[in-house]
Amino acid sequence: MDFKSKADKTIEYFKKNGFKKTADKIKYKIFNFIKNRKEYIENENNYRLWIENNEPNESQLEEQRKKIFEYAPKISIVVPMYNTKEIFLKELVLSVMEQTYQNWELCLADGSPKKLEYIDNYVSQSEKIKYKYLNENMGISGNTNCAIEMSTGDYIALLDHDDILPKFSLYEIVKAINKDKDAEFIYTDEDKIFEGKRNGPHFKSDFAPDTLMSYNYICHFSILKRNLMERIGYLNKEFDGSQDYDLIFRATENANRIIHIPKILYHWRMNEDSVALNSSAKPYAYEAAKRAIKAHLERIGEDAEVEDSECLGIYNLNYKIKGSPKVSIIIPNKDNKKFLSKCIKSIFAKTNYGNIEIIIVENNSNTKGIFRYYKKIQSDCRIKVIEHNQKQFNYSELNNYGISKCSGEYVVLLNNDIKIISNNWIEKMLGICQRKDVGIVGTKLLYKNRNIQHAGIVFGNKYVAWHVNAGSNLNDSGYMARNNIIQNYSAVTGAMMMISKKDYNSVGGMDEEFPIAYNDVDLCFKIREKHKVVVMNPLILAYHYESRTRDYDDKSEEKKNRLREEGIRFMDKWNRFYEKTDPYFNPNFRQDIAKMVVRKDRVNI
């Protein structure tokens, strides 16, 4: 983005938000630039250590060369060429020829204005290299399709003409195929290479449909089984610039099995003409990307507006609501008039959706003031207070009781210490929640100081569950913009989540064996076992004053022991999940801190 564009954007932000917020944002961006530069250097050093500790050495590469796989498919690497620089093609061809797995072919389709003088020097190096001069430039898609037509392999791998593969790339892909022979679409992690140096590793999640609709996180290295490619058709020139994005959508819509290999198996070259270095290098690509998303939505029967975000290449989706189903907002409460009144006021201030009811589940309140407040607010026919007194506090039981008494098709579980910030929050949650593949929708929650309290929950074999990027500044976009995109996670907090009443009841609601902790994560896990996804929408913001009714942060030994017991019980119940890594949290990230930070060695620190 040039200076004028940035200035215009700043002026527009100033007109909308005023001087103080604009000044705060500018101050944060300056601070963040300095901080990011420091973190970049630190991460660069960490990544060098990661490479040393995680990638095979020469003796291990030699062992790979000796490996005889039970199934040894031919991998066709297809490359569209156009005025390719000799040094780039030289490195590309060498990277393929040096693969430790050797059942491959390299198919080069050249749309350059004239045949490159140097090409014969590289094509003649192996009979497995096929080259075709096309006499015309058919565009990225057309040139790639010609390369695919030249291919004869069992799997087709897409490689750009200026990128390279590490020596062990095809070995790891074939290893994954042998582990799961149903694999039809495979993708890997990647990094960038600039002037011979590697940086910017992109450690990805397993397949996540909402993350993919926010941006093309899959990108490189994509490998498709031939019969899948033939079923879905080749690349579509209507999406040139984002042709791979369109292909990935069609592949993931139709693949019987999608495999993610959490290893860096592709190096994306950074140069002045590459989006890897300059996000505005191909402006037409972003319009093509939005069309690709829209086409995907139409194929799967969903209706949503696709909008640009503040960041090029990242998109926000606003789903259109089907009908006007009633939404029941369930709020457990004990005594706390101060926070409950703030919560109720914020609901009415920020809600335009008309068909709602608010059910307050009263639990053992002692103060007269709260009952006077209940009487006052129930003059609004949309609010109902029901009593469910307990000898011992059980959050799961309170929500189960509240939902048993509600009349909505969809329910929002809401803590009494939540203050809604975003307008149209119900519409934004409901539009997503109505999708057939979605089970639960969560939101981004903030501490009073506007740092992030919740932006998604992940789990690991060392920790029961934790909030990703907790404590980060609201303006911190996070690793690969993960703080700011609609995406999938293993769980979201029950402090503010939406679920259909039908889905809630189908899994037995919240497990009352978890009276305080992990009941929300347990609910998300049960929903995911129904083959539905959990979605976190960070475009919906709310303050969470963090358990003001019940002191969950109490440091007494009794409460710490109870929390520990619930954690053990939870991990026992979901042992089958903990035998694997969290699908939405790459195993190359550290588990001992909230932020997504690359670990340095093989052992989780």
DSSP string, 487-500: EE-SB--TTEEEEE
State how far Cα 131 lies from the chain centre.
Answer: 38
Angle at 442 between CA 441 and CA 448, to 5 degrees: 160
Instruction: Give yes or no for residue 327 having a pLDDT over 60.
Output: yes
Q: Locate 353 and state its tokens.
A: 């959706």
pLDDT (0 to 100) of residue 551: 46
45 or 407: which leads in pLDDT = 407
User: Measured between alpha carbons, how far apart are the two ends of the chain, in Å?
Assistant: 38
Instruction: Give yes or no for residue 467 having a pLDDT over 60.
Output: yes
Q: Please write the tens of the pLDDT for every residue from 143-200.
A: 999 999 999 999 999 999 999 999 999 999 999 999 999 999 999 999 999 988 999 9
Whole-angstrom Cα distance, residue 258 to residue 186? 6
Residue ranges in 300-407 assigned as alpha helix (H):
337-350, 368-377, 395-404
pLDDT (0 to 100) of residue 13: 75
Q: Locate 113 and state its tokens.
A: 């204005």
Q: Locate 567 and state its tokens.
A: 């954690």
Confidence of residue 333 (pLDDT cuts 50, 70, 90): very high
Task: Name the least confident of 45-49, 295-299, 415-419, 464-468.
Answer: 45-49
pLDDT (0 to 100) of residue 346: 98
Instruction: Give yes or no for residue 2 having a pLDDT over 70.
Output: no
Instruction: Give yes or no for residue 52 having a pLDDT over 90.
Output: yes
558 or 436: which leads in pLDDT = 436
Confidence of residue 547 (pLDDT cuts 50, 70, 90): low
Instruction: Give yes or no for residue 552 having a pLDDT over 70.
Output: no
- What is the homologous superfamily of the domain 71-308 according to CATH? Spore Coat Polysaccharide Biosynthesis Protein SpsA; Chain A (3.90.550.10)
Instruction: Give yes or no for residue 404 having a pLDDT over 80.
Output: yes
The mean pLDDT value for 101-113 works out to 97
The packing angle between helices 243-254 and 283-299, to 10°, is 20
Instruction: Give yes or no for residue 603 having a pLDDT over 60.
Output: no
CATH topology of domain 327-578: Spore Coat Polysaccharide Biosynthesis Protein SpsA; Chain A (3.90.550)
Instruction: Give yes or no for residue 280 having a pLDDT over 60.
Output: no
16 or 413: which leads in pLDDT = 413
Instruction: Give yes or no for residue 605 having a pLDDT over 50.
Output: no
The mean pLDDT value for 303-315 works out to 94
Confidence of residue 596 (pLDDT cuts 50, 70, 90): confident
Whole-angstrom Cα distance, residue 229 to residue 247? 9
Confidence of residue 549 (pLDDT cuts 50, 70, 90): very low
State how far Cα 603 lies from the chain centre.
Answer: 24
